[in-house]
Amino acid sequence: MARVEAALDRLDAEEAPPAGIAPALLDDSDPAPGVYDQLAQMTALTREVQLQGRAANRLSSEVTQLVQQVSEFSEGQVAARVSAARRDAQADLIGEMLDIRERFARGADDARKRLDSFRGYFARMGARPVIEAVLRGNELALERLDETLRRHGVHEIRCEGEAFDPNTMRAVELDVRGGVRPGTVTEVLRRGYRMGERILRYAEVRVASSGSGDAGRSGNE
Given a contact cutoff of 8 angstroms between Cβ atoms, the answer to whether 73 and 66 are in contact is no
Q: How much is the pLDDT for 36? A: 61
195: nearest Cα among 94, 105, 81:
94
Given a contact cutoff of 8 angstroms between Cβ atoms, the answer to whether 168 and 200 are in contact is no
Q: How much is the pLDDT for 220? A: 40
Buried b (16+ CB within 10 A) or exposed e, 135-162: beebbebbeebeeebeeeebebbebeeb
pLDDT at 23 over 70: no
pLDDT one-digit tens code per residue, 53-112: 777 777 777 778 877 777 766 666 767 777 777 777 777 888 888 888 888 888 888 888
Length, in residues, of the chain: 221
Given a contact cutoff of 8 angstroms between Cβ atoms, the answer to whether 67 and 173 are in contact is no
Measure the CA–CA gap between 101 and 88, rounded to whole angstroms: 20
Q: Which residue has the higher pLDDT, 95 or 29?
A: 95
Going through the chain in order, the beta strands assigned E by DSSP cover 154-156, 169-175, 185-190, 193-195, 198-201, 203-208
Measure the CA–CA gap between 181 and 163, rounded to whole angstroms: 9
Q: How much is the pLDDT for 130? A: 79
Q: How much is the pLDDT for 164? A: 93
The whole-model pTM stands at 0.52
Q: How much is the pLDDT for 205? A: 94
Q: How much is the pLDDT for 25? A: 57
Q: Which residue has the higher pLDDT, 45 or 212?
A: 45
131: nearest Cα among 106, 101, 107, 105:
107
